Amino acid sequence: MTGRIVVGVDGSPQSAGALELAVARAALGGQTLELVNSYSMPADIHFYGYQGIAAAQPVDWFREYSQELLAAAAARVAELAPDITCSLTSEMGTPAFVLGAASEGADLVVVGRRGLGAAASVVLGSVSNRLTVDARCPLVVVGHGEQPASGPVVVGVDGSDFGTQALRHALGEAAARGTSVRAVTAFQVSDQAVQGDPELVARIRAGVEGDAADIIAKALADARTPETESVTVDGVAVEGRAADAILAHADDAQLIVVGSHGKGLVRRVLLGSVSRQVLNDADRPVAVVDLPEE
């Protein structure tokens, strides 16, 4: 832990929710907050001010507005937790790029879900979506009103390095929050050739379910640290699709943790389909965890 949490600030209700979660997390872990806002000029202003004179005033206006948003966010932090130290970063550029750069060396980067509007849980916001690829530390995505105060940390485990890293992060979060971990892994018994033999299907299902439980046990052995030895972990092996299994067992979760997946050798190209579905459909904060930098 480096002691710094980056928070995206843009004045939206989702951003306010992200700020509140970040404040609560910083209060638990003793981190400082870096409040970040980016600004840019619309294309029509760029064209209007192509000679560089007319554009000067709009740039100043956007910069001042950005600074006002950050000052209001800092005032809110002082309201919620006067002892937390804040730094303010206002930069010209796209939000995902500016936040991605700020996340270098941070413990967490926290942003609002956005992009959902009235059609909740349909499309993940463009900034949070892009940050699943560009963030250089664990990313937490928060929707408006998604602030469960208790419950376990739920994590998806699948036998990959990404799943083990997600479990490691979930254990750390549970230790900081004083709660337990629910580790969920999914399995499927789909061989149509044996569906007519219930006894054989039952034996196959029991074997596959046992394998799934072993996946959790192995990941836990690799993920535990001395700081997280006391965290209680409940393993859940579920027949079905992985994202559905995670979401079905997260109704009481205060945080869902998933591995980024899909990056492999071509790193930072695609977010895995399971992680993407959980981000899109979850009704509570979701942390996306990548493998550590080499």
What φ, ψ does residue 24 adopt, rounded to 5°? -60, -40
The span from the CA of 97 to the CA of 103, in Å, is 10
Amino acid identity of 99? L
Q: For position 288, what pLDDT does the model report?
A: 94
Which parts of the chain register pLDDT below 70?
Answer: 1-2, 41-58, 114-125, 146-149, 189-210, 262-271, 293-294
Tokens of 251: 């109704």
Q: Each residue of 104-117: pLDDT tens digit?
A: 999 999 999 863 33
Under 8 Å between Cβ of 72 and 19: no
Query: Closest Cα partner for 112 from 153, 74, 145, 134?
Result: 145
Residue 4: beta bridge partners? 32
The pLDDT, as a whole number, for residue 196 is: 63
Residue of 91, 71, 86 whose CA lies nearest to 27: 86
1-147 folds as: Rossmann fold (3.40.50)
How far apart CA 185 and CA 82 sit, in angstroms, is 41
CA distance 159 to 223: 12
Superfamily of domain 150-294: HUPs (3.40.50.620)
Burial class (CB in 10 A: 0-12, 13-18, 19+), 50: exposed
For CATH 3.40.50.620, list the domain ranges present in the chain. 1-147, 150-294
Measure Cα distances from 101 to 190, 254, 276, 289 in Å.
44, 28, 22, 17
What's the pLDDT tens digit per position in 144-184? Answer: 776 666 899 999 998 889 999 999 999 999 999 999 999 99
pLDDT, position 61: 82
